[in-house]
Amino acid sequence: MSSAKILLIESDRTTVPSHGSALLKKGFALMVENAARKAIERAKSTMPDVVVLDAISLRTSGVRLARTLHAKLDGCPIVLITRSEIDEPSQAGASIVLTPPFTPRKLLNAVQRLLPGDENSWQQVGPIKLNLMQRKVACAGREARVTPKQARLLDVFLHHPGQLLTRKFLLKAVWDTDYTGDTRTLDVHISWLRQTIEAAPDHPRYLKTIRGMGYRLDVPETGRKA
């Protein structure tokens, strides 16, 4: 049985066959939404591992909604079910595109391909542990799932413990941009990470701000464990 969280977006019309039964039989923790706005809100609050967007049941190509979901959910993997011809899934905001006819097994295989990897793939620096594939962070007896960007940001810090990392360096490493005119996105992600790893986020023990320069991860041990 799998505990992976799957958000299924489909029509609630009773005449439309649902893909939910196949996902439930596989053992996924399934959430279902029928409206785009509610689906986005649900996804933001629950951070699913994969989104399955049944655009056919919604009588749309799904491209616009998939792009919106991709942008608002920080790159969460999306399986788009559509009748539209799409040459490159990423251009439609999707990771995988399925067009009918296809079997439930093909859908399950597509979802499985997008799930994070080995649950035991943890790296640790001092008291902070990160499973990058599962996007899970553990510290001081607490464990939480974070967004892909937060996981990538923490991964960068764990590879450079005790080192000052400039805003420019972090923006390039995580967001692949050299633009430093607006660092609010970085600062917000730092704040979110502190909520996860710090006992007192307003008075951080580990993730320190070096005023006018950047940030530094201070931990009692700098040895990395894999």
* Whole-number pLDDT of residue 1: 40
Model confidence over 68-93: pLDDT tens digits? 888 887 778 899 999 998 888 888 88
Given this model, what pLDDT does residue 121 score? 73
- Taking the CA atoms of residue 104, residue 109, residue 110 and residue 114 in that order, the dihedral angle to the nearest 10 degrees is 140
Q: What pLDDT score does 169 carry?
A: 94
Q: What is the pTM of this model?
A: 0.59
> Domains in the chain, please, with CATH?
5-114 (3.40.50.2300), 123-225 (1.10.10.10)
Residue 225 has a pLDDT of 57
**b/e map 139-157, b = 16+ CB within 10 Å:** beeeeebbbbbbbbbbeeb
* pLDDT at residue 14, as a whole number: 57
CB atoms closer than 10 angstroms to residue 14: 6
Q: Tell me, what's the pLDDT at 74?
A: 72
What is the DSSP annotation of 82-120? -SS--S-GGGGT-SEEE-SS--HHHHHHHHHHHS---TT
- Are 28 and 2 in contact, with CB atoms under 8 Å apart? yes
pLDDT for 207: 97
C-alpha to C-alpha distance for 179 and 171, rounded to whole angstroms: 8
**Weakly modelled stretches of the chain, pLDDT under 50:** 1, 222
The label of the residue with tokens 């490493």 reads 173
